[in-house]
Amino acid sequence: MIGVVIAGGGKGTRIGDTPKAFLKISRKQLLYYSIEKFYKKSDEIVVVLPSGYAEQWRKKLKVSYEKIEVISGGEHRQDSVKAGLSVLKKSEIIIVHDVARPFFSDELLNRVIKGAERYGAAVPYIEPRDTIKERDGQFIKKTLNRDNIIYIQTPQAFKAEIIREAYYKAYKENFYATDDAALVENLGAKVYLVEGERENIKITYPLDIEIAKEIIKNGKRRCNIP
């Protein structure tokens, strides 16, 4: 069985006052893109939203998506995902996805699921196009070897026992990270890499919304307006 945590608790302060989950792209709010992708391919789904929005959206989503649970998130993304994990009861594979990435493909989703089934944990990556440097304040400290650097995306998939143990250890050690794979790394387990997608952008800045509109306009992803 497959369970999904859609992390949508971010406030989106770089874009404006609207929480990211509710930003509209091509007349559809961001959270619908992920819900539609996962709904028929999973057994359990929990959507984590900013505090104060959960009750309203639980009622709204239940009309069309009966098996979805909606809960309030925590102070940090990691706290929100932890809350989401507590809702999933039966899943053997757990997928964690950021609501800010609306354009992942079915093929990418299948790759991370298969990777998790075989290796226990799998995440998508893309290679950097730019020169990568480490800085010291406002000065360059050194240039890094780009061949050994990758960018990590979501959705990320894990065997349930691995991600739950990783979260248990992280909170026991007061260890926080920017993605779930880092918690598995902290556990000492290996994380398998699968090929990601350039179109799987993360909506972070106003320019990203315009890029997202172009992706839709050019037909690179099918978008069914509910």
CB 29 within 8 A of CB 22: yes
In the numeric block, which tokens belong to residue 217?
Answer: 């306009």
- Which residues touch 4 (CB under 8 Å, ≥6 apart)? 38, 42, 44, 45, 46, 94, 95, 96, 97, 155
Closest CA to 199 of 98, 101, 95, 96: 101
Share of residues in the chain with pLDDT > 90 (%): 84
**What pLDDT digit, counting tens, does each position of 79-106 carry?**
999 999 999 999 999 999 999 999 999 9
What average pLDDT does the structure give for the chain? 92
**What pLDDT digit, counting tens, does each position of 111-149 carry?**
999 999 999 999 999 999 999 999 999 999 999 999 999
Domains of the chain: 2-217 (3.90.550.10)
CB 47 within 8 A of CB 40: no
- What is the mean predicted confidence (pLDDT) over 157-180? 98
**What pLDDT digit, counting tens, does each position of 22-63 carry?**
999 988 999 999 999 999 999 999 999 998 999 999 999 999
**pLDDT of amino acid 221:** 44
Measured CA to CA in angstroms, residue 102 lies from 49, 151, 181 at distances of 16, 17, 20
pLDDT at 225 over 50: no
**pLDDT of amino acid 226:** 36
Res. 224 pLDDT band, cuts 50 70 90: very low
Res. 176 pLDDT band, cuts 50 70 90: very high
CB 70 within 8 A of CB 54: yes
Please write down the long-range contacts of 184-191, taking CB distance under 8 Å and 24 or more positions apart. Answer: 184/120, 184/121, 184/158, 187/162, 189/120, 189/121, 189/162, 190/119, 190/120, 190/121, 191/119, 191/121, 191/122, 191/123
pLDDT at 222 over 50: no
For residues 119 and 113, give the distance between their C-alpha atoms in angstroms, rounded to a whole number. 10
Counted residue by residue, the chain has a size of 226
**pLDDT of amino acid 218:** 82
For the whole model, what pTM was predicted? 0.92
What DSSP letter does each residue of 13-39 carry, written as one string? TTT-SS-GGG-EETTEEHHHHHHHHHH
Share of residues in the chain with pLDDT > 70 (%): 94
**What pLDDT digit, counting tens, does each position of 179-197 carry?**
999 999 999 999 999 999 9
